[in-house]
A = this chain, B = another copy of it.
Amino acid sequence: MKTNKTISAIFITLIFSALVHETQANKQVHALVRLYKSKLSKAQTVNTSQFESPKSLHKANVVLSQKGHKENDKIRRLPGQPYVKFDQYGGYVTVNESAGRAFYYYFVEAGKPKESLPLLLWLNGGPGCSSLAYGAMQELGPFRVNSDGKTLYQNKYSWNRAANVLFLESPAGVGFSYSNKSSDYKNGGDKSTAIDNYVFLLNWLERFPEYKGREFYLAGESYAGHYVPQLAQTIIYHNLIANETLINLKGILIGNAVINDETDTMGMYDYFGSHAIISDETASTIRKYCNFSPNAVSQPDTCIDATNDADYNIEAVDIYNIYAPLCFDGNLTTKPKKTSWQNIDPCSDFYTYAYMNRQDVQEALHANVTKLDYDWEPCSEVLKGWLDSSSTIIPLLKEFMKIKLRVWIFSGDTDARVPITSTKYSVDSMKLPVKTKWHPWFHQKEAAGFAQVYKGDLTLATVRGAGHQVPSYQPKRALALVKHFLSGKPLMDSSKR
């Protein structure tokens, strides 16, 4: 039945085949594949309709007493950790008492000026990937795991130099976060995640009351392109109906973000073409014959054949950073390998996995208190279903711009999975007038990337030489970017242009 090939067939081969030799080192992709598969299959089990107003919650019904929790959550010292001058907390926040649903968080305060610095929540994507695995331990957190799987080294460019940073494992089934109602793992989705994340935040602020009213920012990468705007929408909506600033949300920052399925997919193939990974012929055939609109259910053979050709070629590289080395040996070493802030070890996922599954580490983190019957994984293996995922988050971005919420979108320019091409197409589709033309932005005399500001305001910025996990590959530039974002200072003084 040649003509019945569905789009899902493309995505399955495309993404799975890209990871043949990457096994655990790129688990985050499997979840995204599963989602795309169900989103784009003829069966359409995923609701891809646009976001509506979130379900209304009454604070009094969802906020539990947090007395004593903060003190208990304080992390004395992580095993193998170097000495540092800031405080860390880790623990569980119940988001649904009747289901026994609890989210694990890891909170890293800033050093000395923590009172004057904002609060920033970081979310990784997937769906199903852990902000502890990526954000905290491989990207913007203060520590990274050595190749011995048991000691840590410092990330000099940790974002807790700019903010008090909260990492959340969400939804239930991800990392240490769990539910006692096993059906929760089959019924995940964007909407329920946004609500649970919101309930988490309300309770967390109850536990850390000194952060109530603090300037608050939401950030994340990849599929957090969905999580972040939806959580923002939920926050804004409840502030509005409560007629009170329950959470003082000031802005959102999303990187290499899933924004708009159609342009994201087009941009991915165009990037493969313009970066000489696939031939110009294959790229133009895909552009001509494939239909990535949310309504398309099947593709002509010409499209399928061209995407198969693409599969063959992209298998050869890490599409999350087309110039990066691959991980060939994830075995732990007796002594830590020499580390370099400039070149993250491509096998870091293996070291993090080993570290997080140590009993002493879990005890120090106050994690896994219920003794889950499965390992902690960088990306969930228990989360099975995903009920809703809108085909676009653009309407939310437009809403935010109307109410002058700070919206920044960044892109590591060597990522081919959700590349800058996709992000540009998605932003272009908003047809916003340009305020500050595409220009370089600098850090330590070098071009850290390029950026454009649209009237409204919306800032789009690249980070030069960074893959999908921007702070892993360009920690200095990523820290400079987030400092600009938090301060609201444009990447270029507009008077210069």
Residues of A within 8 A of B (CB): 270-271, 274-282, 309, 312-313, 315-317, 322-323, 325-326, 328, 411, 413-414, 420-421, 424, 428, 434, 437-440, 442, 445-447, 450, 452, 462, 464-465
On whether the beta carbons of A317 and B440 are closer than 8 Å, the reply is: yes
Contacts of A317 in B (CB 8 A): 440, 447, 464
Question: Which of A282, A438, A465 has the most chain B CB atoms inside 10 A of its CB?
Answer: A438
Selected contact of A313 from candidates B313, B439, B442, CB within 8 Å: B439
- Distance of A74 from chain B, by nearest CB (Å): 41
Distance between Cα atoms of A326 and B442 in the complex (Å): 13
| Shortest distance from the beta carbon of A13 to any chain B beta carbon, whole Å | 16
Cα distance A316–B281 in the bound complex, in angstroms:
32
Copies of this chain, whole number: 2
Q: Which among B316, B437, B447 is the interface contact of A447 at CB below 8 angstroms? A: B316
Q: Decide if B323 touches A323 in the complex (CB within 8 Å).
A: yes
CA–CA, A326 and B424, complex, Å = 27
**Cα separation A326 to B465 with both chains bound (whole Å):** 14
CA distance A263 to B439 in the complex (A): 26
Chain B residues near A428 (CB, 8 Å)?
280
- The reply to whether A274 and B276 form a contact with Cβ atoms under 8 Å apart is no
Specify which of B323, B421, B447 is in contact with A464 (CB 8 Å cutoff). B323
A312-B439, A440-B313, A447-B316 known; A280-B326 Cβ under 8 A:
no
**Given A421-B274, A447-B317: A282 and B438 interface contact (C-beta under 8 Å):** yes
Q: Is there an interface contact between B437 and A323, defined as CB atoms closer than 8 Å?
A: no
Q: In the assembled complex, which residues on chain B have CB atoms less than 8 Å from the CB atom of A278? A: 438
Cβ–Cβ contact A276 & B424, under 8 A = yes
Q: Cβ of A276 and Cβ of B450 under 8 Å apart? A: yes
User: Which residue of B280, B309, B424, B439 is within 8 Å of A424 (Cβ)?
Assistant: B280
Which of chain B's residues have a CB closer than 8 A to the CB of A279?
A: 437-438, 452
A437 CB contacts on chain B under 8 angstroms = 279, 309
Point out the residues of chain B lying under 8 angstroms from A442, CB to CB.
316
Q: Which residues of B contact A326 (CB under 8 A)?
A: 445-446
Alpha-carbon distance between A280 and B450 when the two chains are bound, in angstroms: 12
With a CB–CB cut-off of 8 A, which chain B residues contact A313? Answer: 438-440, 450
A466 to chain B, nearest CB (A): 10
Report the separation of the CA atoms of residues A424 and B275 in the bound assembly, to the nearest whole angstrom.
11
Whether A462 lies near B276 (C-beta < 8 A) is: yes
Q: Give bound CA distance, A413 to B312, whole Å.
A: 19
Interface centre among A276, A317, A420, A450 (most CB of B within 10 A): A276
Cα separation A313 to B447 with both chains bound (whole Å): 10
- How far, in whole Å, are A147 and B458 apart by their CA atoms in the complex? 45
